[in-house]
Each structure stands twice: as C-alpha cells, then as structure tokens.
Amino acid sequence: MDKLKECAQSFSKLFNTEYTIVAGKKSKNIEVTLFFHKEHFCHLIGLHKLKDLQIAKGDKQKIFDKIISDDLTYHDISKSAFFSEIADRFDYFTDLEQMLDSEEVLVKHNEQGSKSAIKADYIIYKISDDLIVHYFIECDKNIEKYYGKTFFLRHDKLYLRDRPYKILKKTKICNGHIVSETVSSSYNEIADS
C-alpha cells in the first residue's frame, strides 16, 4: 500500500476516538483530552514543509480526501526537494495509536528553553529504536480539548528539558464508549485523600 495513504488511514481510525489523560507532577495535576480530525493530518505528517508543491498551502481536509482516494500519493510528494525533511515520519506515524495506548510520557512544552518556534502546550513522547518520537499537542480553546500540532523524530532531548508528568489515569473512548482505562496506584491515593 502507498505509504502516505497508509499513514492517513491509520490516522482516520482515530477520528471517533478521544483519550483523556490525568497526569501529575509534584502537587499539580492536569487533565488533557485528545481528539483527532482529518484537518490535523497534513501538518502532523509534514506536508506543509514541502514548499515547492501546491499542497503545502491547500485545504487540509481536501488534501486528506485526495490521499485517501489515491489522487495524492507518496510517490507524488517524494518528488519535493524538501521531502528528506519529513521522510522519517512515515516509518513511525502509523504507530501513533499504539504509542498513545502504551506507556508514553507527557511533558510541558517549553518554547523558550528549547528555543523552539513550535506553538504547543505539551509533548507526548516515546523512545523507539534509539529515536525519540515527539507528538506535540495544543489546546483548541473553543472546545477545551487538545489536538496534534506536529509529529517528528529526534535523536536528542532538545524539547524534553522539563521534568515529565506521571500518567495517573488514561481513558480511551471510541464512539462514546470506554475501550480501555488504566489507573496508576498514585491516582487511587489521590482519589482516596
């Protein structure tokens, strides 16, 4: 199967899914609810970086539909002079759901500390094959839920300078039904106090 379409299809499986994560650091707890929409895909996979292709500025939902209908392929985007900047994402993006289901780590995104231009609130990350897979998330203030802002890999911990939050409780909901829920013993201690 076309690698670009495979990534889009794996992402589309999350459209009716939300993750609610309760995490704590010292005495501060946060709650993050993640949601997924087709308009997020293009930026996550890095198509905006392919500045020499018209898709870099196109309607994100229409581009997603073109990918699903085979009107835009991996072969098409690989012709970009900037393709090498995003090529490694395709080897890991299909594992996003598995990453979110596993023991990922959540940290506050510190733009100043990492000298980053990325506008995001938190980073969910996982170490895989000596690489750190980064999934930056930002709050949609209109609905008070978080969406994926960008997704990429690095060999260093440039963006991970803050102490991570401990995941206390994670609930995965598909089509309004709880699919899985994990609760740490620390969460039970907080709930009992």
Mean pLDDT to the nearest integer, 72-88: 97
pLDDT digits (tens, 9 = 90+) for 99-122: 999 877 888 887 655 566 788 999
Give the Cα separation of 101 and 175 in Å (integer): 16
Which structure tokens are listed for 23?
């995490």
User: φ and ψ at 131, to 5 degrees?
Assistant: -120, 155
Boundaries of every domain in the chain: 3-192
The pLDDT value recorded for residue 150 is 94
Give the Cα separation of 175 and 177 in Å (integer): 6
